[in-house]
Structure 1
Amino acid sequence: MGGASLVLGPLLLLTGMLLRLRFDFFFPAQLSAYGHHPDLMTAAYSFVSAGWVLLWPGVGLLAARIGERFRELALWGGALTVLGLFARAFHAGVDHLAFQLVAVQGAASATRTVSETYDAFHIFSTLNAAIMGGWLLLAIGAYRSRVLGPLRAAALALASAMPLGVLKGTAPLSVAAAAGLCVALVPLGVAALCNGRTPRAATVAGRLLLLVAVGIAMFLFGQAG
């Protein structure tokens, strides 16, 4: 799970960032873009939110590797980063609701509603520092423990610069941060997949079939409300 997470999470994140790159970063343009290109924006935001959520097992694996030599850095870096992923998931939920307002009320009305409620308090705003600081601690720990070399550790630290908040589009810094995660984590994930114990072909096929069946069942259950 950790290896697959380190491969899929950053790639999905970068894909979603690139899909919405042509639209202005701030929320009025993001809502307007959804009004004109709902399928494209749904895909972009879905890739981004899935990428963030799928990163949690990989963060756990990276923290475990760091913890072999630096337990405190692993503990705090891993914990803060996962808390930051929770906050990102909350932001994704607000994004989804805002886009549904566009579909029902139109972009102008949705923009007015979002503008009037944008500064409303929510408990996850207390995790903004965790969103940024967790990746920095992981990068420092990965470098000091020699899990990552200096260049890839610096690339991982770029994730701390990823813009945060509700209805944030893609800025050049977003692409750099997502690309940094790919550079830092994808090779680590590939190595984890290759170096792990290789299961039998029948086991792999069985797991894939189970994954497909469970995925379809969960999708249908979710659509049923």
Structure 2
Amino acid sequence: MCDEGGTAWIDDMATPSFEFPGRWVEGSGLLLGPVLMLTGVLLRADVDGFFPSQLAAFAVSPGRMSLSYSAFAAGNVLLWPAVIALVRRVWVARPRWALWGGTLVMFGLFARAFHAGINHLAFQLVRVQSLEAAQKAIADSYGAFHVFHTLSFAIFFGWIVLAVGAWRAGVLGIARSVALASMSALPIGVLKGTGPMSVVAAVGLCLALVPLGVRVLTDGPAPRWWAYPLALGLAAAAILIGMAG
């Protein structure tokens, strides 16, 4: 905007500072995201990593495999506020590392969410048709191109870039930065089982982010008493509405 003399000036009603998504969402993501991903990885640790065995395991133990993949997917989604929390802290000293690392990691989270949807559909094929039909459908369509496949490089490189930025900014020490970078070793794609590097990556994520989550949650006043039942009520309502279709 300009005044009558043509001189540019800044509106004094500028947008106030606002840290999105806030301490409680960020702290919860830092704590729960890594723990849920590790839980999902460990629940299927005894099953061969390729998709025929993953589908066969679902046919035998649908509850355990559903819980495994659901925990992993939920942890992946909860990592978005965790990544924002880390990016905001890295930004203070290393903005370029924060920008590129955070952007790549977020794109990678989107790609894993896409894979989670395919996993769910594959399991439902076992349930509503048969194991053989599901295995054939996945085998015949495995590797089919989709736009999200172009984000595989982001899944691999994003965690490394963000980890280097966190180390250079002094947000994480060298050991926890290396642990964060180990997430690049987590297998990418549809119906991926648990291998040694899956456990290393998930444990590394916990070592890197959980202590930061504790610090974020304890660095400030506790929520009011009514916030706890309200959060539980909203979560229950969301589940019921989602199940209703």
- Aligned partner of 1:35 in structure 2 is 59
- Aligned partner of 1:174 in structure 2 is 198
- Distance across 2 between alignment mates of 1:185 and 1:120: 34
Normalised TM-score (structure 2) = 0.89
Consecutive aligned runs of 4 or more in structure 1 exceeding 3 Å deviation = none
- Aligned partner of 2:49 in structure 1 is 25
Larger radius of gyration: 2
- Distance across 2 between alignment mates of 1:207 and 1:93: 31
Residue type of the alignment partner of 2:49? F
- Aligned partner of 1:216 in structure 2 is 236
Normalised TM-score (structure 1) = 0.96
1:26-59 Cα deviation digits (max 9, x unpaired):
0000000000000000000011000110010010
- Aligned partner of 1:113 in structure 2 is 137
- Aligned partner of 1:72 in structure 2 is 96
- Aligned partner of 2:148 in structure 1 is 124
Residue type of the alignment partner of 1:48? F
- Distance across 2 between alignment mates of 1:199 and 1:114: 48
CA RMSD of aligned residues (A): 0.8
Residue type of the alignment partner of 2:52? P
Offset of residue 106 of structure 1:
1.4
- Distance across 1 between alignment mates of 2:108 and 2:230: 30
- Aligned partner of 2:207 in structure 1 is 183
Offset of residue 3 of structure 1:
1.3
Offset of residue 214 of structure 1:
1.1
Residue among 69, 72, 76 paired with 1:52:
76
Percent of aligned pairs sharing the same letter = 51
- Distance across 2 between alignment mates of 1:167 and 1:123: 18
Offset of residue 218 of structure 1:
1.2
Residue type of the alignment partner of 2:122? A
2:226 aligned counterpart, secondary structure: helix
Structure 1 gap segments, 5+ residues each: none
Residue type of the alignment partner of 1:121? F
- Aligned partner of 1:10 in structure 2 is 34
Q: Which has the higher helix share?
A: 1
Offset of residue 199 of structure 1:
3.1
Residue type of the alignment partner of 1:163? P
- Aligned partner of 2:221 in structure 1 is 198
Residue type of the alignment partner of 2:227? R
1:169 aligned counterpart, secondary structure: coil
Quick check: 145-154 or 215-224, which moved more?
Answer: 215-224
Quick check: 211-220 or 133-142, which moved more?
Answer: 211-220
Residue among 213, 227, 232 paired with 1:207:
227
1:168-224 Cα deviation digits (max 9, x unpaired):
1111100000000011110111111112x2135xx1x21111111111111111111
Q: Given the alignment of the two structures, is residue 158 of structure 1 paired with residue 182 of structure 2, yes or no?
A: yes
2:67 aligned counterpart, secondary structure: helix
Residue type of the alignment partner of 1:224? A
- Distance across 1 between alignment mates of 2:178 and 2:88: 19
- Distance across 1 between alignment mates of 2:228 and 2:119: 32
Q: How does 1:83-102 map to 2 (within 5 A)?
A: 83-102=107-126
Offset of residue 107 of structure 1:
1.0
Give the count of matched residue pairs. Answer: 221
- Distance across 2 between alignment mates of 1:177 and 1:145: 22
Residue type of the alignment partner of 1:182? C
